[in-house]
């Protein structure tokens, strides 16, 4: 792969009016050729109107007419990716686009098909919820048991793929079940996965965090379903 690959940055957005402008600006400032694919999942807080005003030759704006979930938004975004590498970027400010160069390195130099950015491998992070940490570790451990992988952060947003790999996988989950689903399907395909430390500026519910305990229950179901039956 070329040393300066084109990156397709897929940004699923739902009710992120306070951060969507800033995260797009940060992505636009990275040192690579990019296409930024913003998928608005029928936001009702003014996010869509802000996306309409974002300009740039490398911007693709896609809109769902009803709320479908993060997995559905990613599926839409992946279909429009034309770069060499696809990176998932949440529309909040929890993850730092400055880390793209480190994350893509194992793919660029031919060592990896996929890279996960782990919040638990020693990178700086905002101290946040204990029970979120416990839930994440439980889900990651159960996923590892099913996939025979040794990931430390299956639920991370920062997942980086060779474009031909992610476009060839049929994603069924519409919501947060995407994380265990894609992990199970990558393991089944015996993709070479690397994990690298990332920084993390987690937010709380007052700041717009959306994932909750019900999503954890769904993730448990998806861990079993997509390893055993799909």
pLDDT digits (tens, 9 = 90+) for 148-178: 999 999 999 999 999 999 999 999 998 878 9
pLDDT digits (tens, 9 = 90+) for 194-211: 999 999 987 554 544 556
Decide which of 212 and 16 is more confident.
16
User: In the predicted model, is pLDDT for residue 223 greater than 90?
Assistant: no
pLDDT digits (tens, 9 = 90+) for 104-120: 999 999 999 999 999 99
DSSP letter string over 76-123? HHHHT--SSEEEE--SSSSS-GGGHHHHHHHHHTTS-SEEEEETTSS-
Cα 191 to chain centroid distance, Å, stands at: 17
Given the candidates 3.30.2290.10, 3.90.550.10, 3.40.50.620, 3.90.79.10, the CATH classification of the domain at 7-228 is 3.90.550.10
**DSSP assignment, residue 177?**
T
- State percent of the chain over pLDDT 70: 85
- Burial group, residue 147, by CB count within 10 angstroms (0-12, 13-18, 19+): buried
46 falls in which pLDDT band (50, 70, 90)? very high
Beta strands in 147-226 (DSSP E): 159-162, 193-197
Q: What does pTM read for this prediction?
A: 0.89
Whether the Cβ atoms of residue 102 and residue 183 lie closer than 8 Å to each other: no
Structure confidence at residue 204 (pLDDT): 58
217 falls in which pLDDT band (50, 70, 90)? confident
- What is the three-class DSSP state of 195? strand
Structure confidence at residue 205 (pLDDT): 46
Structure confidence at residue 208 (pLDDT): 47
């Amino acid at each position: 792969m070329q040393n300066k690959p084109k990156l397709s940055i897929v940004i699923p957005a739902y009710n992120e009016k306070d951060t969507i402008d800033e995260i797009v600006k940060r992505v636009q400032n990275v040192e690579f050729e990019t296409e930024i694919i913003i998928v608005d999942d029928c936001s009702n807080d003014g996010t869509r109107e802000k996306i309409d005003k974002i300009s740039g030759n490398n911007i693709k704006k896609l809109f769902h007419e009803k709320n479908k979930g993060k997995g559905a938004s990613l599926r839409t975004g992946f279909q429009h990716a034309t770069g060499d590498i696809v990176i998932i970027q949440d529309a909040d400010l929890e993850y730092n686009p400055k880390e793209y160069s480190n994350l893509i390195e194992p793919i660029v130099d031919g060592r990896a098909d996929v890279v996960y950015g782990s919040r638990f491998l020693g990178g700086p992070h905002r101290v946040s919820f204990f029970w979120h940490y416990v839930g994440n570790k439980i889900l990651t451990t159960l996923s590892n048991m099913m996939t025979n992988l040794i990931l430390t952060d299956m639920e991370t947003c920062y997942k980086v793929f060779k474009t031909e790999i992610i476009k060839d996988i049929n994603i069924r989950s519409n919501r947060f079940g995407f994380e265990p689903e894609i992990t199970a399907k990558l393991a089944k395909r015996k993709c070479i996965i690397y994990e690298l430390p990332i920084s993390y500026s987690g937010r709380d519910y007052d700041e717009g965090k959306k994932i909750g305990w019900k999503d954890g229950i769904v993730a448990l179901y998806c861990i079993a379903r997509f390893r055993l039956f799909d």
